[in-house]
Chains A and B, each alone.
Chain A
Amino acid sequence: MELIMNNLNVIWFILLCVLFAGFFLLEGFDYGTGILLPVIGKTDVERRQMINALGPIWDGNEVWMITAGGALFASFPHVYATLFSGFYMALFLMLAVLIMRGVAFEFRSKSPNRTWRKVFDYCIFIGSIVPALLWGVTVGNLIQGTPIDETMTYVGTFWDLLSPYTVLCGVAFILVFTYHGGLFTSLKTAGPVSERARAAALVTGVPTAIGVIALIIASYVCTDLYNSTLAIVFCALAVVCFLISWGATRTRNTKWGFLFSSLSIILITATYFAGLFPRIMVSSLNPAWSLTITNTSSSEYTLALMTAVAAVFVPIVLAYQIWVYWIFRHRVTEKDLHY
């Protein structure tokens, strides 16, 4: 108990890692499926199979992002303030396309008009690829460092967020999510679209591997990620998981492929969190001005309260979300289309 009370901000740092890992794992395949939608969904029915595979779960998955944001606000309010006001235009862009995506899922198939459906297909595509890119760019910026002054205020512009490293990070996120989404679609649909999704995942796997290796090297050159031994371990494990995933998919064990791709996403998230610790946002102006778990955290009272609440509700949420995945475990055929 004493151990918990003395390390509440560490616990919340880990909890944030869990929330972001859950978010990237779940929204990862949502985004990936959205990115692949126009490529492998050749007919309207096939597209709807893909959308309906996400149908019962995408909204619950998106809540992982919202909860991560809310938890950040509650546990490290200064990070919430600096990040969201500093990365202002990037966040605006992301919210704008997420609005388009959410509306598109719900509205697309409610009208038979072809142009209508085409427009919303584009919305789903853009609403998937842009957030994937921007989250990658964001994570890259957290570790590479952004101009943050001594008052915790971001003093750069939108363009300062885009460096070769952060853009590479964004591209790698797109690739990893696309691969992941291909596996999800392959598992959750029936018929030709399922086979095409597996093929797409295998093809995407190659540039994904190249992108991730480039990112691993770039992280060594541009950041201090590997000062943390734990980050090196997680990073190595992530690579191993990805290779197992690709191999399993190739030998038609798509289930194992998806499982290990999920693990690799969790490990990539853990790599960045381990590399950041105890910082959350690195200042490129002065290391002393970085936002850390000590200088940004909420009071002990609030953290203790939130820890108790999370201890009760995170398992409950997990339980019912798993139940929902179980209820909708079937492959989506053209017979069960609601969206």
Chain B
Amino acid sequence: MFEALDLARLQFALTSIYHWLFVPFTLGMTVIVAILEWTYVSTGKEVYKKMAKFWGKLFLINFAMGVVTGIVQEFHFGMNWAEYSRFMGDIFGAPLALEALMAFFLESTFMGVWIFGWDRLSQKTHALVATLVALGTNLSAFWILVANSFMQHPVGYVIRNGRAEMDNFLAIVSNGYVPGQFAHIVLNGSMTAGVIIMAISAWHLIRKSNVDFYKTSVKWGMVITLIAGSLGALAGHHQGQYITKEQPMKMAAMEALWETQDPAPFSLVANIDTKAQKNTGAIEIPGGLSFLTQNSFTSGKVEGIKDLQAKSEAQYGPGNYIPDVPSIFWTFRIMVATGSIMLLVAFLGLVLNAKDKLVENKTFLKVIFWMLPLPYIAQSTGWFVAEAGRQPWLVYGLQLTASGASKSVTAPEILTTIIGFTVIYILAAIAAIYLAVEHIKKGPDGQTIYHVEEKEEARLWN
């Protein structure tokens, strides 16, 4: 019915995308909460403490989901990708262990202190704890991206004893793929947090509840979105130029560029025919792709899929080295479009706010609120481009995805776990969304945990 390999890939995609729904908000929000706390320490204004607590609690609901899905993420390399783990473990295991030692311990331990320490620590120590959590989450992103970057662009290794062995750790850490990817991910994490803050604040401003609190919040949200989003886009642009050099097939697939061209156009939309290997009805910006990849509209060769396929066959032997072009082409465009819309809305919102017209403008506040799903779409499509664009390679040029799966795991077993995890993920998501909505509705002043006073009904079976 289903091949084990396809199911393993489906499961990887599901786990990673689901995990990644929660991570960017965590990455950004820990930094923002730390900044809010330090602002409170230095200004003494209560509103910042209130903001740290309110947004921090929303973040906690999200953080729990990120933690529990992260455990699956850590273990499923061994579960579904045992042959990959054998071939790559000497290199891939190290950043994962480093992530656990340097980052997971830090964020998890101090997260507990953060939640339980409000009354036990001085305000300064608490702000320091928040900073350590932020450091932990972002260090964790760094190490996992070091690991992922090796899969995209292997460096610092030798093939020995039938596997890839680490030859130079510094080369692996300073992989040219890392800086652009890390900056792009971390900044867009902040952007995600910024968008969520501005969207929820807008929801309250429409209802005129806690106007002072949410006025400050919406401004913070918009400023963060604009700054982090613009810098994140720049980092993404830098990464695009890097990929053109180091992963040309991914770039060609992102642009559905079948023939090598100089200068190469940028297609806004196109009808892609993968069988005939050509596009019809494309709306093109002449020289646009050359400009994006090499800063010039008039010259700049970009290699096409057909030539790259021929090159790969010459290097690695016969086979199909072309990833799924249409899905990569479109997800890339969705990512760029959603990112641009969020930036535009944040910018316009700040302009309105500067003229003191934002709080009155219900229509625009609604627009801000409906930005809520956009960061999630942008994050998921972005990772789809990065990972699907690497296919058919599991480790670029070293190991094919087809040869990385576990031998001892059968298709029915994977199907069972896919269904099992999906059911649990959905139930957990429903619970998380319910709590988040309740929390958001209550606002910054409705923060009590209720005692349930009853003796009989709390019992389970005793």
Chain A residue contacts of B99, Cβ below 8 A: 70
Contacts of A107 in B (CB 8 A): 61, 64, 431-432, 435
Q: Is the CB of A92 within 8 A of B79?
A: yes
Q: Least Cβ distance of B247 to chain A in Å?
A: 25
Interface contact B462-A67, CB-CB below 8 Å: no
Q: How far is the CA of A320 from the CA of B68 in the complex (A)?
A: 23
Q: Is B313 interfacial (CB 8 A cutoff)?
A: no
- Knowing A153-B407, A154-B408, A327-B113 are in contact, say whether A78-B71 is a contact too (CB < 8 A): no
Complex alpha-carbon distance, A125 and B462, angstroms: 14
**What distance in Å separates the Cβ of B94 from its nearest Cβ neighbour in chain A?**
5
Q: Mark B74-98, 1 if CB is under 8 A from A, else 0.
A: 1101111011011011111110111
Stretch at the interface among A109-117, A227-235, A258-266: A109-117
> Within 8 Å of chain A (Cβ to Cβ): is B60?
yes
**Chain A interface, >50% SS class:** helix
Tell me if B68 and A60 are in contact (CB < 8 A): no
- Cross-chain contact A88 with B93 (CB below 8 angstroms): no
A86–B85 CA distance with the chains assembled, in angstroms: 13
CB contacts under 8 Å to A, within B150-207, are 160-161, 165-167, 169
Query: When A42-B455, A67-B101 are in contact, do A81 and B116 touch as well, CB less than 8 Å?
Result: no
**1/0 per position for A78-103, CB-CB distance to B under 8 A?**
10111111101101100110111011
- Looking at B228-236, B336-344, B417-425, the stretch in contact with chain A turns out to be B417-425
Chain A 321-339, CB within 8 Å of chain B: the 1/0 string?
A: 1001001100000101111
A106 close to B64 (CB less than 8 A):
yes
CA gap between A55 and B112 in the complex, in Å? 7
Nearest-Cβ distance from residue B135 to partner chain A, whole angstroms: 12
Chain B interface, DSSP helix/strand/loop, else mixed: helix
Taken together as a complex, chains A and B put the C-alpha atoms of A140 and B429 apart, in Å, by 35
A314 to B102, CA, bound (A): 9
Across chains A and B, the number of contacting residue pairs, with CB separation under 8 Å, is: 271
Q: CB of B246 within 8 A of chain A?
A: no
CB of A278 within 8 Å of the partner chain: no
Say how far A39's CB is from chain B's closest CB, in angstroms.
Answer: 6
Q: How many residues on the A side are at the interface (Cβ–Cβ under 8 A)?
A: 86
In the bound assembly, the distance between CA atoms of A103 and B63 in angstroms comes to: 10
Report if A139 contacts B (CB, 8 A).
no
Number of interface residues of B (CB under 8 A): 86
Which of B65, B79, B98, B461 has the most C-beta atoms of chain A within 10 angstroms of its own C-beta? B79
Q: Which of B34-42, B373-381, B444-452 lies at the binding interface?
A: B444-452
Q: Could you tell me which residues of chain A, from 280 to 303, have a CB within 8 Å of some CB in chain B?
A: 298-299, 301-302
**Residues of B contacting A72 in the complex (Cβ-Cβ under 8 angstroms):** 93
Selected from B67, B106, B449, B455, the residue in CB contact (under 8 A) with A110 is B449
- The answer, yes or no, to whether A178 is at the interface (CB within 8 Å) is no
List residues of chain A with CB under 8 Å of any chain B CB: 38-45, 47, 52, 55-60, 62-63, 66-67, 69-75, 77-78, 80-86, 88-89, 91-92, 95-96, 98-100, 102-103, 105-107, 109-112, 114, 117-118, 121-122, 125, 151-155, 298-299, 301-302, 305-306, 309-310, 313-314, 317, 320-321, 324, 327-328, 334, 336-339
CB-defined A-B contacts under 8 Å, sample of 6: A60-B105, A78-B89, A80-B78, A106-B64, A117-B458, A320-B105
- B residues with a Cβ closer than 8 A to A are 60-61, 63-65, 67-72, 74-75, 77-80, 82-83, 85-86, 88-94, 96-102, 104-106, 108-113, 115-117, 119-121, 160-161, 165-167, 169, 406-409, 413, 416-417, 420-421, 424, 428, 431-432, 434-435, 438-439, 449-455, 457-462
